[in-house]
Chain A
Amino acid sequence: MRTGQSRKDQHPRPPPTCKEKRMPNNASSVGIVSAQRALFETPLDLACGVTLPQYELVFETYGQLNAERSNAILICHALSGHHHVAGRYSEDDKTTGWWDNMIGPGKPIDTDRFFVVGVNNLGGCHGSTGPSSIDPASGQPWGSRFPVMTVPDWVTSQARLADRLGISRWAAVIGGSLGGMQALQWSIAYPERIAHALVIASAPKLSAQNIAFNDVARQAILTDPDFCGGDYYAAGTVPRRGLRLARMLGHITYLSDDGMGEKFGRMLRSGEYKFGYDVEFEIESYLRYQGDKFSDYFDANTYLLMTKALDYFDPAKDSDGDLVAALKKASASFLVASFTSDWRFSPERSRETVKALIAAGKRVSYGEIESVHGHDAFLMTDGPYVDLMRAYLNRVAEEVNA
């Protein structure tokens, strides 16, 4: 037994499991869902100095907004995410929303109790206004002229969506990775509009190493001859090779060495060396498959923009680098969670957030979940992670009588 033990541990208990936990049998899906679209004609001033004259946000909702309009939860997505967070689009839809294992009736983000909103961020490529949308001024795709977005810009646009939905205060704003940054930003930008922020596998700002990974990914896209300076829609090309490389690199950093070793090891597809440069190791095959799949549906300009939003995020910047001072504005309660094998957004980075929140006098709980899944663990269902989310959100639900 380790120290830092608890009183309770003075009696034997089974060791915590890090196996994936199955959802209870009564947990089910939100079912068939469909996306909605909202047009905003009030211009949006962005951090980069550009003003978006108008824009559309595409979003989905699950569950029922209660009479007090107090049980709404916003899900903020990460780099490659979108508004389709749970459920399926049709009976024979093979894929579910990206966080279907966390959201649904009886699941930790319980749609029997909460009204859950998923939104595709501005600059995205899943329906909200982004680089591939038509610029009404020119009638052409925005392409290279689409402004760089920041996390605060997104949060402002999400607040307008909340207004549109009649939600004056979120019961919680939840996000992992880049989504966690949005949850943190919400707590600072709109302290009176958010009761709880759940900041998962995130960081108060990126480290040099993290920015470096993003830059290599961007370079892969920017140097693809098919990128055409960002105006590849007009040129009729797709910078598929660059996007594929960017995704492959990203994917390596989202997994842990152990997790990758466990899944692929040095396994060869054909069982022997071929002494050539085609796919031989299983890990190569996996990465190329992921890269190919991603480059089929994701937009390269969106990828660039999302990585830049990550790099720029630094809520302490306006407070002379003092994160504690920045967080003093918040009035939300916080749940911060990290995963032991996540080296892209390591537990140390989450601890920085926790330390600043404590120093700022905020209510915060912090869980450091043992997992082999690396950064991707925030999308998985490691037992203690699910337990922690369920316990926390149960409190949130009780607060709003949901």
Chain B
Amino acid sequence: MSYLDSLRPDLQLIADWIPAGSRVLDLGCGEGELLAWLQQHKQANCYGVDFDVNNVVGCVKAGVNAIQGDLEAGLAEFEDQRFDHVVLSQTIQAMRHTEEILLEMLRVGREAIVTFPNFGYWQNRWQIMLGRMPVSDDMPYQWYNTPNIHWCMLGDFDALCAKNHIRVLERVVMTGGRQVNFLPNLRGSLAFYRVTRG
């Protein structure tokens, strides 16, 4: 399958953070594109969780173990420290139980990888200045139909980690598939965090 070789840039960055042979849990795994790649290229031992049965079917087609489930209900299916890495990609901003899922991720896994659209990105700030809620490729919804209910920017996520004694191991910020090092909270549209218990 060709898509196995060309991961989306944001998923590739996550994949690069995961060493070969890791035990990986991907929350909101979609059709398992990240996990299929990790199985193929890094011999990872993978499970995905997704709310949508059609995505579970997609995972099965891709040869990825997938558990249909609602992340809001926690990760009761998984025992403590079952995984090396637990991934939550562009989903945390849409969750009701934001803090809980972060803690659950670090209960079942040694490290958590969390990515989210950075609300502090200058284009978002600009749209707000013009008097409208931001809409962009990373945030493609109108205010009235967005599933995203918990917006944050880099400083906010740092603060949430600090409050819960979670240590940030690595942080990368990207815009349009390219890494941003200068003024990341202003110039970066997607944030990637690799964190562990402090």
Which residues from chain B contact A11 at a C-beta distance below 8 Å? 140
Which residues 79-117 of B have a CB within 8 angstroms of A? Answer: 79, 82, 89-91, 94-96
A7 and B89 contacting across the interface, CB-CB below 8 Å: yes
A388 and B51 contacting across the interface, CB-CB below 8 Å: no
A4 and B49 contacting across the interface, CB-CB below 8 Å: yes
Which residues from chain A contact B82 at a C-beta distance below 8 Å? 358-359
Given that A354-B67, A358-B78, A366-B66 are contacting pairs, would A16 and B147 also be in contact in the complex, using a CB cutoff of 8 Å? no
Chain A: how many interface residues by the 8 Å CB criterion? 34
CA distance A10 to B140 in the complex (A): 8
CB distance from A12 to the nearest CB of B (A): 10
Interface presence of B158 (CB below 8 A): no
CB distance from A81 to the nearest CB of B (A): 25
Which residues 1-52 of B have a CB within 8 angstroms of A? Answer: 27-31, 47, 49-52
CA distance A262 to B186 in the complex (A): 55
B57 and A3 contacting across the interface, CB-CB below 8 Å: no
Interface presence of A355 (CB below 8 A): yes
CA distance A358 to B72 in the complex (A): 20
CB distance from A25 to the nearest CB of B (A): 21
A8 and B31 contacting across the interface, CB-CB below 8 Å: yes
CB distance from A400 to the nearest CB of B (A): 15
Q: In the complex, which of the residues A3, A359, A387 contacts B95, with contact meaning CB atoms closer than 8 Å?
A: A3
Which residues from chain B contact A13 at a C-beta distance below 8 Å? 54
Interface presence of B55 (CB below 8 A): yes
Interface centre among B58, B67, B95 (most CB of A within 10 A): B67
Interface presence of A39 (CB below 8 A): no
CA distance A3 to B29 in the complex (A): 12
Interface presence of A298 (CB below 8 A): no
A366 and B94 contacting across the interface, CB-CB below 8 Å: no
A364 and B53 contacting across the interface, CB-CB below 8 Å: no
Given that A11-B140, A366-B68 are contacting pairs, would A6 and B51 also be in contact in the complex, using a CB cutoff of 8 Å? yes
Stretch of A206-214, A275-283, A389-397 lying at the B interface = A389-397
CB distance from B192 to the nearest CB of A (A): 14
Closest B residue to A363 by beta carbon equals: B65
Given that A7-B30, A365-B65 are contacting pairs, would A388 and B53 also be in contact in the complex, using a CB cutoff of 8 Å? yes
A3 and B91 contacting across the interface, CB-CB below 8 Å: yes
Interface presence of A384 (CB below 8 A): yes
Interface presence of A2 (CB below 8 A): yes
B56 and A367 contacting across the interface, CB-CB below 8 Å: yes
B60 and A395 contacting across the interface, CB-CB below 8 Å: yes
CA distance A387 to B66 in the complex (A): 14
Which residues from chain A contact B51 at a C-beta distance below 8 Å? 2-6
B65 and A367 contacting across the interface, CB-CB below 8 Å: no
A9 and B77 contacting across the interface, CB-CB below 8 Å: no
Q: In the complex, which of the residues B65, B89, B147 contacts A3, with contact meaning CB atoms closer than 8 Å?
A: B147
Give the interface of B toward A (CB within 8 A). 27-31, 47, 49-61, 63, 65-72, 76-79, 82, 89-91, 94-96, 140, 147
Give the interface of A toward B (CB within 8 A). 1-11, 13, 16, 335, 351, 354-355, 358-359, 363-370, 384, 387-388, 391-392, 394-395
- A-B complex: 4 closest residue pairs judged by Cβ atoms: A4-B51, A6-B30, A1-B147, A4-B71
